[in-house]
Structure 1
Amino acid sequence: MNRIGMIVLGALVALMVASSTLFVVDQRQFAVLYALGEIKEVIAQPGLKFKLPPPFQNVVFLDRRIQSLDSPETRPIFTAEKKSLVIDWLVKWRVTDPRQFIRNNGTDVRNAEARLSPIVQAALNEEVTKRDVRAMLSSERDKVMQGVIARLQDDAKAFGIEVVDVRIKRVDFASNITEAVYRRMESERKRVANELRSTGQAEGEKIRADADKQREVIVAEAYRDAQKLKGEGDAKASALYADAFGRDPSFAQFYRSLEAYRASFRNKSDVLVVEPNSEFFRAMQGAGSGTAGPRK
């Protein structure tokens, strides 16, 4: 190998050694510097940093941003009134003590989440069992979340993390409880519907009875007025007849005979048998002779 080759090889080796001694710390990370397998330094300030080349020193990075941990599975929790609820939760956390975090969980975030999840679930169980369903569904959710955060503080310090927030995403009844609630709601709605239906029927009967009463009153009053008018008309007619008959009695007798004939022979098939010497027959004979005379 010639002199130029030796220089190039030396430059490459020097470059490799220099690159192994330099590293960049991002503002979103912690840099944990190891010296012979032990933590020597935790670097939080971003920028270009120096270290000894491996195997004397190496560096591991931890994410310092806020992490999210969802409830791994839906487990029923019993309230103070022994009602089973299914609660989905969300925990926000971040690394605050990299040394403590690595001692307890290593450098893998999933190890911390696997240990943190049952602790969160236990803290949530303790808070829920002190409250009833109404409180969990509406009024005391914030108190439950604050209580869980307070219960997690000591465990979080042991993990080298900080619990930033705990949120309850969903509160629901277990499947068997949900079905029972739906059945109870259905029966309640049916009861209300039956009450409204019976009330409507009672109101309908009342309205119909009042309408029938008013109809009877109106018909009775109309019949009364009709009878009154009829009586007045009959009285006026009787007065007119009396006045007319008083002026000419023979005409009155003749008119009454005609009315009697009209009443006797309403149909063509009617037959009347009378004695020849009866006044009715004589009147008919007189009427007949009176009408036959002019024809001759």
Structure 2
Amino acid sequence: MQRLFPALVGLVIALTVLSSCMFVVRERDAVLLFALGEVRKTIVEPGLYFKLPPPFQTVTRLDKRLQTIETNDPERIQTSEKKNLLIDSFVKWRIDDPRLFYVTFGVNERAAVERLQAQIRDALNASVNVRTVQAVVSTERDAIMREILSNVQARAKPLGVDVVDVRLRRIEFAPEISESVYRRMEAERKQEANRLRASGAADGERIRAQADRQRQEMLATAYAQAQAIMGEGDGEAAGIYAGAYGKNPQFYDFYRSLEAYGKSFGGQGDTLVISPKSDFFKFWGAAEGENASQQSRSAAPAVQ
């Protein structure tokens, strides 16, 4: 038993020394290997590794996982119009160079977060101060996020930090300017509505004017065609009348006289003052018109 005890003590010591010479790097870790207080190696690949026992070599672990910085209170940023906006943002970042990160911050990630927040605040001010409220709120929001990301990435790279993404989560008006901004936006919308109404009224007048012009053109064309057709009809009628008159002039003269009688005595109260000897009554008593003047004197009334 006395012989086994020293052997057990030696085995425990050997296992302790062996365990101090072994370390495991996990997926989420970045390990710095120190030798006498100086960084000798950076290990980011997971696995089992060996080193000299302390104090000859020691290891320091850093978290290389993707991390998020969220603002507790919205930042008050002023636009080019001297209007205050409350902007709430968040940032995704991770350790890119463990050696640089350790030299800058040690193992204090809180210090890194505070440094990044200050850089983000500066970049946010630089991008928003040169833009109007409308540009920040709607039209150039994506451009602002790209500018902030590029600015912060360039400033965080020498610190061993990689800024992956920057997002403006919420943008609100400061209470003291909300009412005035809303009134201005309402006035702009009313102005735009009036412009659209005026444009619509002008388009309506133009369309109506075109329709009236087309109507007048169609009526003029139709009238010209009707007059042409009427002229052709009158010409054909005149030709027919002329042909009929040429075949039997006496009958034609008699027919025309009957038409004249019908038009002259169409109503009960019609009065005609004319001499009974006139040629107008030449067919009044004689169907063929012969000696109509003598016969019509006794048959035709002088008045009525």
CA distance in 1, matches of 2:75, 2:180: 19
User: Is residue 2:87 matched to residue 1:76?
Assistant: no
Deviation at 1:60, TM superposition (A): 0.9
Report the 3-state secondary structure (helix = DSSP H, G, I; strand = E; otherwise coil) of the residue aligned with 2:7. Answer: helix
| 2:52 aligned residue | 52
One-letter amino acid of the counterpart of residue 123, structure 1 = A
Q: Which runs of 4+ in 1 moved over 3 A?
A: 179-182, 184-188
Bigger RCO of structures 1 and 2 (CA < 8 A, at least 6 apart): 1
Deviation at 1:160, TM superposition (A): 0.5
For the Cα contact (< 8 Å) 1:104–1:159, is it kept in 2? yes
| 2:292 aligned residue | none
CA distance in 1, matches of 2:160, 2:32: 14
User: How do residues 1-296 of structure 1 correspond to structure 2 at under 5 angstroms?
Assistant: 2-181=2-181, 184=183
User: What are the ranges of 5 or more consecutive residues in structure 2 without an aligned counterpart?
Assistant: 191-304
User: What are the ranges of 5 or more consecutive residues in structure 1 without an aligned counterpart?
Assistant: 192-296
Deviation at 1:130, TM superposition (A): 1.4
Deviation at 1:57, TM superposition (A): 0.8
- Per-residue CA distance 1:94-131 (angstroms, 9 max, x = gap): 11111111111111211111111111101011100111
CA distance in 2, matches of 1:178, 1:6: 82
Change (3 A) 1:173 1:118: same
CA distance in 1, matches of 2:111, 2:54: 26
One-letter amino acid of the counterpart of residue 35, structure 1 = A
CA distance in 2, matches of 1:83, 1:119: 22
CA distance in 1, matches of 2:135, 2:117: 24
Change (3 A) 1:123 1:186: closer
- Per-residue CA distance 1:137-169 (angstroms, 9 max, x = gap): 112111001001111122111110111000001
CA distance in 2, matches of 1:146, 1:154: 12
CA distance in 2, matches of 1:4, 1:147: 71
Deviation at 1:181, TM superposition (A): 4.4
CA distance in 1, matches of 2:43, 2:181: 56
One-letter amino acid of the counterpart of residue 104, structure 1 = T
Deviation at 1:72, TM superposition (A): 4.2
For the Cα contact (< 8 Å) 1:72–1:117, is it kept in 2? no
One-letter amino acid of the counterpart of residue 139, structure 1 = T
Deviation at 1:178, TM superposition (A): 2.5
Deviation at 1:180, TM superposition (A): 4.3
How many residues are paired up?
Answer: 189
> RMSD across aligned C-alpha pairs, in angstroms?
2.2
Percent identity, aligned pairs only?
45
Q: Which is richer in helix?
A: 1
CA distance in 2, matches of 1:137, 1:157: 29
